[in-house]
Structure 1
Amino acid sequence: MQLRVPRLFTVRVMVFSLVLLLAFVLVYPTLHSYLQQQQELAELRAQVDAAQRRNDDLVSDLGRWDDSAYVQAQARERLSFVLPGEKAFRVLDPEAVPDVPAVDAGPSSTVLDEGATQPWYTSVWDSVQLAGTAPTTEPAG
């Protein structure tokens, strides 16, 4: 009795492998394109959902403007409108305002009322002359 050794690579296995390889080569680009398009489609759907939410927010904001109380509040906040009889106060920068009263820094300059009707360069020249005649203090030392 003779033992028959099975062949690992028969003609059938080689043909089957060749068919599988050919199928893979043909299907892979199509499958890759399909998966890429599915990903793009998911991203576009997410963008559409975000745009729809933004649109809903804008429509609700537009609906708020039909309320006269909202319009009045926006006019007060954005345009600093006040109702007749009210006094408006504006704090420019609360952190920049010192808590202590301002101290007199020295003699004040005297500006004549006629300087307001003079040309600007005359006012500048007068202030330069006035600054030149101001008393100077010598540093302690």
Structure 2
Amino acid sequence: MPRMFTVRAMVLTLVVLLAFVLVYPTLTTYLQHRAELQALRSEHAAAVETNEDLRAELQRWDDPAYVTAQARERLSFVMPGETAFLVVDPDAVVEEEPVAEGAVTPEAGGSTSPWYATVWESVEMAGEMEVGQEDADPAGAPAGSTTGDDPSTTAPASGG
């Protein structure tokens, strides 16, 4: 009898294990699909709500009073005969400090010109600085080098 009990227990354990192996993958797939379906339903509900909001906004544009109000607010339009006033908050206005002539300062928001224009400006500035240094020290210039603004004139070579 005890032997029969162990065999039955082993068979029952084997059946439960086989059922678990067969059911587990199917159950996990079912739960994953159920979670996906719930996420898609909530996404659909959000899209429907956004669509309704956009339709209501579109219907508001059919009202001439709304269009007039938007033109006044967004574009600062005024009706004929009205006087427009623009009030500027003094705390919001930023005063720029004067910059010394020839000084290069980086812009806070980045450059609005294309990169190649910035590169060319820096090349021109470097050339001007180099020319300015040569003009300031003509005694240090080697013989036969160009002097002054006219490149066709050369300094006389010494020695003969």
Task: Give the shorter-chain TM-score range.
Answer: 0.5 to 0.7
Counterpart code for 1:58 = L
Instruction: Tell me how far apart the structure 2 counterparts of residues 53 and 73 of structure 1 sit (CA, whole Å).
Output: 25
Aligned residues: 93
1:75 aligns with one of 31, 52, 71: 71
| Unaligned ranges ≥5, structure 1 | 98-141
CA offset digits 1:26-51 (Å, max 9, x no partner): 11011001001101110010000000
1:88 match: 84
2:52 alignment partner AA = D
Amino acid at match of 1:65: W
CA distance in 2, matches of 1:77, 1:84: 16
Task: State the distance in 1 between where 2:30 and 2:3 align.
Answer: 40
1:18 is aligned to 14
Q: Give 1:76 deviation, angstroms.
A: 0.1
Superimposed CA distance per residue, residues 68-93 of structure 1 (whole angstroms, 9 cap, x where no aligned partner) = 00000000000000000001111122
Q: Does 1:35 align with 2:41?
A: no
Letter in 1 for 2:35: Q
Structure 2 regions of 5+ residues with no counterpart?
94-160
Q: Which one of 23, 45, 49 corresponds to residue 41 of structure 2? A: 45
Output the aligned Cα RMSD. Answer: 1.9
TM-score, normalised with respect to structure 2: 0.54
Q: For the residues of structure 2 that align with 1:8 and 1:81, how far apart are their CA atoms?
A: 97
Q: TM-score, normalised by structure 1?
A: 0.61
- Identity among equivalent positions (%) equals 66
